[in-house]
């Protein structure tokens, strides 16, 4: 797979029914190894191992309803009270991060109303902190440590 702008991790990749799969430490099962999944697994490991995010408060492929339509967030970080704290949206490395990508994650946020949004294609990463009082957001220079959220 492609080298990303994220720290390497010890991935568990095997072949199952002729297809490559990777072990997802959040879902605790093997999933299809797509370019987007490669980014997800790198990013989740980065958050856990380098930023101190607790794996027990993270979920992958979170279903939600938006205007009677089923949607799915790539990763959600929860507070200890299980309210959503942060949404992550991943794209394959060859997919450019555009306004349409941000529009997608902000639609999810209409339901979850989190404090942080992160978008990554494994090469570029963007994190913004929401300000609901001013109805604005600011882009952060780096992904915050879990203890700083």
**pLDDT tens sequence across 9-27:** 999 999 999 999 999 999 9
Domains of the chain: total: 1
CATH code: domain of residue 120: 3.90.1570.30
User: Could you read off the pLDDT of 80-110 as tens digits, one per residue?
Assistant: 999 999 999 999 999 999 999 999 999 999 9
User: What global pTM score does this model have?
Assistant: 0.95
Q: Which domain holds residue 60?
A: 52-148
Structural contact between residues 109 and 117, judged by C-beta atoms closer than 8 angstroms: yes
Please state, as a whole number, how many other Cβ atoms lie within 10 Å of the Cβ of residue 93: 19
Q: Is residue 69 situated within a structural domain?
A: yes
Whole-angstrom distance, CA of residue 125 vs CA of residue 29: 26
């Amino acid at each position: 797979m492609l080298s990303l702008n994220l720290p390497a991790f010890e991935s568990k990749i095997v072949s199952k029914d002729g297809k490559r799969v990777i072990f997802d430490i959040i879902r605790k099962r093997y999933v299809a190894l797509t370019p987007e999944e490669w980014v997800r697994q790198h990013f989740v490991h980065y958050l856990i191992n380098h930023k101190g995010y607790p794996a027990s408060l993270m979920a992958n492929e979170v279903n939600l309803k938006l205007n009677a339509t089923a949607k799915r967030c790539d990763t959600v970080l929860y507070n200890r009270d299980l309210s959503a704290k942060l949404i992550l949206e991943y794209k394959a490395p060859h997919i450019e991060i555009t306004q349409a990508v941000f529009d997608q994650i902000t639609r999810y946020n209409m339901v979850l109303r989190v404090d942080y949004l992160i978008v990554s294609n494994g090469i570029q990463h963007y994190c913004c902190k929401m300000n609901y009082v001013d109805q604005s957001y600011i882009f952060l220079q780096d992904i915050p440590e879990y203890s700083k959220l």
